[in-house]
Structure 1
């Protein structure tokens, strides 16, 4: 399972319909937050995600992307959490965590481990990785790629039996890439195991101008969640504030060959309607959505290479 829940989809100013940035990801029971704007813990309660997070990834230290963390960690502590929490982010993350622990009259019941990342840094999680991507927002800022490692190819049980391999431990050896010997003949894994199958790939831009580093990392992504703060008619304002227009995000998605694009960090000026954003994006890239609060996307596994 790889499920994405949008808990906060608004721009700098929250609205009655959009909270500040927060994206919840559940990968086979491991739960992560990417950004944690004000009110995120209440959004988690409404979405019934639970609070057993293993890690929080901060894209940058503008207030609308991290102000939800102090309340969230205090609630987790009040609820008896003892497991450590990892917080990743750009430069200033360690200082932020130190200040966070010192904030207010309370005693935190668990350890917080801060990690400062730069573009290109990789966190190896075993069967998947999270890679930090340098972005362009005028302050130290990162995007993130969650990419699963290649999976073993499909095992052809019928072919294995035809070759005289008895059902049992030898099947497992072949699936692990080890050759086996039957009646003096060496049978290679490639004879009964298909080509490796791709894992899933998800990219979150955070706040940024379109940039080459993000475009490269987004190649063939199953899902690209990109800053789509403004309509194309406000391109000059996007340049000044270091954000991306809907059309620019769609162009990046098209050039990178992503399967699906979701625009988020929607400016409060589009509180009544996001039709203009959708039109700008749809003119360039077909499979696009505007993020909504509590929208869920589940990314399926695929055998296509």
Structure 2
């Protein structure tokens, strides 16, 4: 999987950071499928600088309805259609997202040539998908804001190739069938059960992406033992009072959540435009004093895992 940060700013864009949007690209088994988390203004423009394709976009998860997280959504939906997208697309988000989409598409007379489904999420909702289970929990922000925990389902174990070779089974079509757990009849009449030649199932990865939030218990619950936690860090620790007043987090807030939740990697985003140049490095240093394996996302950064 890859995380593509299309926008890492907060509130308003700056020359260094566009408004919020993160793409999760699935590789190998998932054939390049794409999920999008938030869709700030100019998200589709940012995508032009990447290898991402709107035709691969399957799901969009909106954390909350502030403009810097949704003003790019009508454009993305329309361009996906204009570029020949035909496959279904599902948008998840807080109550009101359906009304926003319908109003903007209707007023602009934008007609989609693919099935669009809109799901308004609630606190505690669990979305069971073929490859993942997505857990939704409400955070603490000025308006309703959610975090999403993507837990990849267990994958089939590796084929025990050495064991097959020991009993004289050469590579070929039988290997593919056995890896699927199927029963195979060999040319010599022997019947093999695929379950006997596949190792234990492999645990999937867990990625957590939070919307705007103050420090709250649900952020920690969602992040528990995650491989990657994406957490807002709108303000430096010296601006803690402002952060609290505006329902946001500091770098240290995010790092403390990562520590308590035992995550493997923390990625900071949603950085206020007041921090430019060298100040961005200070944000990272500040967080790393609390949680060493912290990274500060910049626009168009890609994290592979």
* Shorter-chain TM-score tier: 0.7 to 0.9
State which drifts further: 154-163 or 208-217. Answer: 154-163
State which drifts further: 114-123 or 36-45. Answer: 114-123
Of 218, 224, 227, which aligns to 1:222?
227
Q: Which residue of 1 aligns with 2:92?
A: 88
Unmatched tracts of structure 1, length 5 or more: 300-305
**SS where residue 36 of structure 2 aligns?**
strand
CA contact (8 A) 2:182 2:195 kept: no
Query: How far apart are 1:166 and its partner, in Å?
Result: 8.6
Query: How far apart are 1:252 and its partner, in Å?
Result: 0.9
Normalising to structure 1: TM-score of the pair?
0.87
Normalising to structure 2: TM-score of the pair?
0.87
Unmatched tracts of structure 2, length 5 or more: 186-190
Of 115, 138, 142, which aligns to 2:142?
138
Distance 1:219 1:187, change over 3 A: farther
Separation in 1, partners of 2:46, 2:238: 32
Match status 1:283 vs 2:289? yes
Query: How far apart are 1:220 and its partner, in Å?
Result: 2.1
CA contact (8 A) 2:54 2:80 kept: yes
Separation in 1, partners of 2:260, 2:181: 36
Which 4+ stretches in 1 moved above 4 angstroms?
160-181, 186-192
**SS where residue 242 of structure 1 aligns?**
coil
Q: Which residue of 2 aligns with 1:102?
A: 106
CA contact (8 A) 1:15 1:271 kept: no
**SS where residue 163 of structure 2 aligns?**
helix
Match status 1:114 vs 2:118? yes
**SS where residue 289 of structure 1 aligns?**
strand
Separation in 2, partners of 1:171, 1:112: 39
Separation in 2, partners of 1:128, 1:17: 33
Q: Which residue of 2 aligns with 1:39?
A: 42
Separation in 2, partners of 1:144, 1:265: 16
Q: Matches of residues 147-166 of structure 1 in structure 2 within 5 Å?
A: 147-160=151-164, 162=166
**SS where residue 215 of structure 1 aligns?**
helix
**SS where residue 43 of structure 1 aligns?**
helix
Match status 1:249 vs 2:254? yes
Distance 1:74 1:180, change over 3 A: closer
Separation in 2, partners of 1:236, 1:188: 63
State the superposition RMSD in angstroms: 2.7
Of 298, 301, 305, which aligns to 2:304?
298
Q: Which residue of 2 aligns with 1:202?
A: 207
